[in-house]
A and B are shown apart, each in its own frame.
Chain A
Amino acid sequence: MSLKVDQDHSRFRAIVRGKIRQNLRKYISQGELIGRKGKDLVSIPVPQIDIPRLRFGDKQQGGVGQGDGSPGDPLGGEGEQSDGAGKRAGQGAGEHVLEVDVTLDELAVILGEELQLPDIQDKGKSKIINEKDRYTGIRRVGPESLRHFRRTYREALKRQIAMGSYAPEKPIIVPIPDDKRYRSWKTESEPVANAVILYMMDVSGSMGDEQKEIVRVESFWIDMWLSKQYKGLESRYVVHDAVAREVDRETFFHTRESGGTMISSAYKLCSQLIDEHYPPEEWNIYPFHFSDGDNWSMDDTLSCIDIIRQKLLPRVNMFAYGQVESPYGSGQFIKDLREHFGKDERVVTSDIRDKDAIIGSIKDFLGKGA
């Protein structure tokens, strides 16, 4: 049922979207939203949207209460909560925070608008066409099985009232063929574009918690943007130090190894995964690799470049490499990649210095519309 307030509500939602857009950079660099992700909703804390009025400052006034306690006791058992909660309330300067639910799709649209991300261009890889019937309208002819009872009844009622044959005390409605209404449908065909993101991450000793957090935040937004672009999105996770192995999402973000780093091991596994599961004619493939840029040897780097050129690039939409700065890494790998693939648009490299750089790097990765 539609309500009158719906219009006001959608105006409010538009204002909220504006607020989210304004604060998007903050949300992204603080990684605030990730913990709040539901199935397809994110709950976003927006500063209370308020109409400013002349009124007294919040904390000067105090008030009157009722109940037990002696002077100096905290109010309303607030003290029983953890100190952290009390502090946070304090810093907020009495500001109320509004929790707004936004669908991931909406959030992706906002992200796209704010970063001016182009939609991904069709690479002709989506050849599978899915056909779907949808009921879209009402017709006067059709099979009896699709007869719309309510509409038919209403037409008959209208006709009987107009003809004067309707008696309220004996409300019998008999439809004639002319009254009958049927549902009608349209067949829509939509391409089923499948995509897979192959996340690879260096988990050698030099990648600390902070670096992993950056990867986590970044992957959240990449996931979101690509799942807006593709109907079916899969993610696979590969961690590596000197050897690579596939893990689940949870492990991906929490593993820490101490060995050396052989990046080629991850690329080999990545290529193998594509071989086994993702035929490039049916899949859009996005390998993302995050590392601090410290590879074991120049030889290994050269074999990495070889794998990218021979095995990956012919089959993927783009190859993305994000280098997270760490105090231990030399950061050489990104330079090597740039040297070898400098002109190749399919290879995207990005330097992520700290959390504030995440937003720029998202734009680096997704800004090409590949």
Chain B
Amino acid sequence: MEKVRSMSEFALRTALPSYLAKEQEKIEAFARAAGLDFFPTVYEILTYDQMNEIAAYGGFPNRYPHWRFGMEYERLAKTYEYGLSKIYEMVINNNPSYAYLLEGNSLTDQKIVMAHVCGHVDFFKNNFSFRSTDLDPGGTTTDPAKRPKNYDPNRRWIDKMANHGARVRRHVARQGMSKVEDFVDQCLSIENLIDPHAAFRGKRPVKSLDEDEKATEIPRLRAKDYMESFINPEEYLEQQRRKMEADKEREKRNPLHPERDVLKFLMDNAPLERWEHDILEIIREEALYFVPQMQTKIMNEGWASYWHSTLLTTKILDASEIIDYADNNAGVLATSGGRLNPYKLGVELYRNIEERWNKGQFGKEWEECDDLATKKNWNLRLGLGQKKIFEVRALYNDVTFVDEFLTAEFCRDQNLFSFSWSHRNDRYEIESREFKQIKNKLLFQMTNAGNPFVYVDDANYENRGELVLRHDHQGLDLRADYAREVMRSLFRLWKRPVNLHTQIEGKHVMVRYDGREHATRHMRT
């Protein structure tokens, strides 16, 4: 813990009082004994306005200057003042991890938070998705499943974010606040057009320059002389020749393959000034940092909730605290107004997995059994539950987690349903209680963190240097007014007309923005 002290040490001067430090030691010992493996964790105790400030900054004490943090702060401060919500805990994926406690919370609450934090930090350290946030040079991220024994990655994101702040402030000093802020706005509006797997993607092989030379001859199929005209007829050779030419033509395209990392593509190809390039890079890095958190919301919160309730009820609490605990815990796991609570869904899924693997309710035999009574009483006493959930927390993300472990029985027990907007009644209505439909909807929502899939298709459309983005339409249209605004932002970066290929109500359209107006053209498919 001592060795990684750095700038972040000076971020806040809000050390933990000794009675809480003692609790931390105790709780962490229990957590380690239970098998959790976490980074060293530094707790800070904050007043509510400090807490709101840090929450507005996404958990970091220092960010680049931007008005939306101010908006978030206003929202948080207001909901706190009106007594609508209160942030109990916050923890950031950093090594060492930083977690914040709210000043004036009861001791029971602080204990819950600390146990909860142990779960989160264990998850940060062990779930494969978070390996993309390792800052070590040399890419430890290439094989996320294998990791060294003494895994101690560089995740000094607090310092990195603070440096980003310093960089942006320097640009502000040179370029002026509104110019920079305006540019940040443009970048933020395309912030979600990144490849969430960028860190794991590796590099595409680059063709060396002399490789082109050899394949100019048209490949013929082997044939004896007298068969030549049958096996390699003129038409075939002509066809091959055309194919090769088309291939060659394609190689001149930029990008070679549809590019999902729009931000990176713009960094490499758009005519940006140095400071603009720098800001775009900062926005992209930060967007990528938050990706794993979005990919594992249910798993991460579920894991933390699983452990705070396990540790508190079995080890930490004494009888006098149990009511307070139950009250708080019920609040955390409550589902109200039919909304899905990721804490609740996550923790129930882990418990379900644990129970199933304890009882051996998995595998071919289990799945093929269709006798309800047998299934209900199925118990092989394998006791594999703990082992399984630890494995799950390392190797899954929300999509694979739900896909693999959300069963029809679970769906029914948890009273899940799918809902949709009813145009007739002008309100959201429960749509179905059918397992397939619910699961599909849930998976769709989580895929790509709920963002549309968008690719750069061409940077020289119609040989006019126009950018073409293609929205891979999977059933839902884009929100039109936002899409138009995003195209403005893209134009600002690309400085040439920008096209978006998407579908509107089932029809393929190409929306073009040339810096003055938007034009929509229907496309033949």
Chain B residues with CB under 8 Å of A60's CB are 421, 476-477
Do residues B482 and A55 form an inter-chain contact, with CB atoms below 8 A?
yes
Do residues A64 and B189 form an inter-chain contact, with CB atoms below 8 A?
no
B85 to chain A, nearest CB (A): 15
B510 to chain A, nearest CB (A): 15
A308 to chain B, nearest CB (A): 49
B479 within 8 A of A: yes
B407 to chain A, nearest CB (A): 15
B427 within 8 A of A: yes
A69 within 8 A of B: yes
| Chain B positions 18 through 58: 1 when the CB is less than 8 Å from some CB of chain A, otherwise 0 | 00000000000000000000000000000001100100110
Chain A residues with CB under 8 Å of B420's CB are 61-62
Do residues B192 and A65 form an inter-chain contact, with CB atoms below 8 A?
no
| Chain A positions 56 through 94: 1 when the CB is less than 8 Å from some CB of chain B, otherwise 0 | 111111111111111111111111000000110110000
Q: Closest A residue to B454 by CB, please name it.
A: A54
Do residues A66 and B49 form an inter-chain contact, with CB atoms below 8 A?
no
Q: Closest B residue to A11 by CB, please name it.
A: B67
Instruction: Tell me the bound Cα distance from A13 to B341 in angstroms.
Output: 33
A331 to chain B, nearest CB (A): 43
A149 within 8 A of B: no
Do residues B416 and A65 form an inter-chain contact, with CB atoms below 8 A?
yes
Interface range on chain B (Cβ under 8 Å from partner)? 35 or more
Chain B residues with CB under 8 Å of A11's CB are 65-67, 70, 177, 181
Stretch at the interface among B237-245, B305-313, B332-340, B365-373: B332-340
Do residues A59 and B416 form an inter-chain contact, with CB atoms below 8 A?
no
Do residues B414 and A86 form an inter-chain contact, with CB atoms below 8 A?
no
* Residues from 448 to 494 in B contacting A, C-beta threshold 8 Å: 450-452, 454, 471, 476-483, 485-486, 489
A176 within 8 A of B: no
Instruction: Tell me the bound Cα distance from A78 to B422 in angstroms.
Output: 13
Q: How many residues of A contact B (CB 8 A)?
A: 50
Do residues B335 and A67 form an inter-chain contact, with CB atoms below 8 A?
yes
Instruction: Tell me the bound Cα distance from A14 to B181 in angstroms.
Output: 13
Contact for A64 among B66, B73, B418, CB less than 8 A: B418
Do residues B73 and A66 form an inter-chain contact, with CB atoms below 8 A?
no
Instruction: Tell me the bound Cα distance from A99 to B431 in angstroms.
Output: 32
Q: Closest B residue to A57 by CB, please name it.
A: B479
B251 to chain A, nearest CB (A): 29
Contact for A54 among B414, B431, B432, B471, CB less than 8 A: B471
A52 within 8 A of B: yes
A78 to chain B, nearest CB (A): 6
Contact for B192 among A3, A54, A78, CB less than 8 A: A54
B501 to chain A, nearest CB (A): 12
A179 to chain B, nearest CB (A): 25
B387 to chain A, nearest CB (A): 29
B408 within 8 A of A: no
Do residues B476 and A86 form an inter-chain contact, with CB atoms below 8 A?
no
Stretch at the interface among B134-142, B377-385, B437-445: B437-445
Do residues B427 and A63 form an inter-chain contact, with CB atoms below 8 A?
no
Contact for A8 among B70, B336, B471, B479, CB less than 8 A: B70
Do residues A58 and B479 form an inter-chain contact, with CB atoms below 8 A?
yes
B332 to chain A, nearest CB (A): 15
Chain A residues with CB under 8 Å of B423's CB are 59
Instruction: Tell me the bound Cα distance from A72 to B424 in angstroms.
Output: 11
Do residues A8 and B428 form an inter-chain contact, with CB atoms below 8 A?
no
Do residues A54 and B483 form an inter-chain contact, with CB atoms below 8 A?
yes
Q: Closest A residue to B469 by CB, please name it.
A: A54
Do residues B415 and A3 form an inter-chain contact, with CB atoms below 8 A?
no
Do residues B341 and A66 form an inter-chain contact, with CB atoms below 8 A?
yes
Q: What are 9 of the A-B contact pairs (CB < 8 Å)?
A: A8-B65, A8-B70, A51-B68, A53-B192, A57-B477, A59-B423, A64-B442, A65-B418, A98-B75
Q: What residues of chain B have their CB less than 8 Å away from a CB belonging to chain A?
A: 49-50, 53, 56-57, 61-62, 65-71, 73-75, 78, 177, 181, 185, 188-193, 335-341, 344-345, 414-421, 423, 425-433, 438, 441-442, 445, 450-452, 454, 471, 476-483, 485-486, 489
Q: What residues of chain A have their CB less than 8 Å away from a CB belonging to chain B?
A: 1, 3-5, 7-15, 49, 51-79, 86-87, 89-90, 98-100
